[in-house]
Amino acid sequence: MKKIAISTTLPLEILLATQCEIVDLNNRFVTSPKASEWLSQAERSGFPKSLCAWIKGLYSACMAEKPDLFIAVTEGDCSNTKGLNGILAHQGIPVLSFRYPQDNTPENLESALKQLATDLSVDWADVLEMRKRLENVRLLGIELDRLTFETNQVTGFENHLWLVSFSDFDGNLEAFEEKLTCFIAEAKTRPAMKQTVRLAYIGVPPMTADLYDYVESVGAHVVFNEVQRQFSMPNSLSAKTLAQQYAEYTYPYELDGRIEDIQTALQTRQIDGVIHYTQAFCYRALDDVILKDVLPCPILTIEGDQATSLDGRTKLRLEAFIDMLREEGQ
């Protein structure tokens, strides 16, 4: 089976219709025991210190995976992926660019999606069939999320891990669906979590996934993982067309859509505070200025770089923030 590696969430309905194995290199990188080594490897190859760790991780993960094709999202995500594509092509890896149109009308999306299908030699009828095939797993994603914020039976970390895996279904849709079904059945038998402070996690998924266990240990429950939830396409069942579904997907476009999505969650999920994660050297750190201004609750911004576990300072900040929210709530 041929292997397609990707740089972030892409329209999986099209990619899976190719019958290839899909690998989101971010997931491969961040869960790899070699993550630190891969970062050093990229730096030895000339990637500057002052560059986002994710790009370096993607590069080394791609060199290790040696996919038959690498698709980078070069618009609607970090523009460093353009440079990355250039380097990978230079190293002999076939590459393709996908651009989320910045004017995200369904018409523009329709044309971008059809172009991707053409580039991958996929029949549009097969794409639509795949969309139908994914309905069940998308529903499971919604249920998992509900068990996180409504019944408090799923931890913030579990929510993060499952939803972030929706970008490639761990490379095996059937197995993923089965595992998630079992997980949900088991989670429903659990007692509700006891943490009293309810947090939203916004921004790109963290390099430091131990963040979730840490906030839990100091009394908080992450009930909303903004971008990870977007990766799972919770709107796919309500969107009439695939183009509409990807036009409503908030991550690649201007901040307004993300703000609306976050504000809805803050209300419906009774959230006390927000953790905004930014990645060192990422343009998305600028969003922080606006988010702090418009979101109606306390925000703690934390920055991650290369480390895959939280440092003492960040722990202190998280703890103090949660302490503060708890006292406000009393």
Please give the residue ranges that form the binding site for other proteins (CB under 8 A).
Answer: 292, 298, 303, 311-313, 315-317, 319-321, 323-324, 327-328
Contact assessment for residue 152 and residue 222, using Cβ atoms and an 8 Å cutoff: no
- Angle formed by the axes of helices 210-217 and 156-164, nearest 10°: 160
Q: Select from 164, 264, 155, 165 the least CA-distant residue to 215.
A: 155
Q: Which residues pair with 196 in a beta bridge?
A: none
Nearer to other proteins, 269 or 326 (CB): 326
CB of 101 to other proteins, least distance (A): 35
Up-side HSE of residue 267: CA atoms within 13 Å toward CB? 6
Q: CA-to-CA distance for 167 and 189, rounded, in angstroms?
A: 27
Nearer to other proteins, 169 or 321 (CB): 321
String of DSSP letters for 32-66: -TTHHHHHHHHHHTT--TTS-HHHHHHHHHHHHH-
Other CB atoms within 10 Å distance of the CB of residue 121: 8
Nearer to other proteins, 34 or 326 (CB): 326
Nearer to other proteins, 25 or 318 (CB): 318
Nearer to other proteins, 135 or 328 (CB): 328
CB of 301 to other proteins, least distance (A): 9
CB of 10 to other proteins, least distance (A): 33
CB of 320 to other proteins, least distance (A): 4
Which residues, at least 6 apart from 172, have a Cβ–Cβ distance to it below 8 Å? 21
Which residues, at least 6 apart from 246, have a Cβ–Cβ distance to it below 8 Å? 11, 100, 109, 113
Q: Which residues pair with 221 in a beta bridge?
A: 198
Other CB atoms within 10 Å distance of the CB of residue 102: 11
| Placement of tokens 């930014």 in the chain | 278
CB of 322 to other proteins, least distance (A): 10
Nearer to other proteins, 38 or 321 (CB): 321
CB of 305 to other proteins, least distance (A): 9
Q: Select from 206, 199, 201, 205 the least CA-distant residue to 310.
A: 206
Nearer to other proteins, 8 or 208 (CB): 208
Contact assessment for residue 252 and residue 100, using Cβ atoms and an 8 Å cutoff: yes
CB of 319 to other proteins, least distance (A): 5
CB of 285 to other proteins, least distance (A): 12
The two structure tokens encoding residue 148: 């996180």
Nearer to other proteins, 70 or 281 (CB): 281
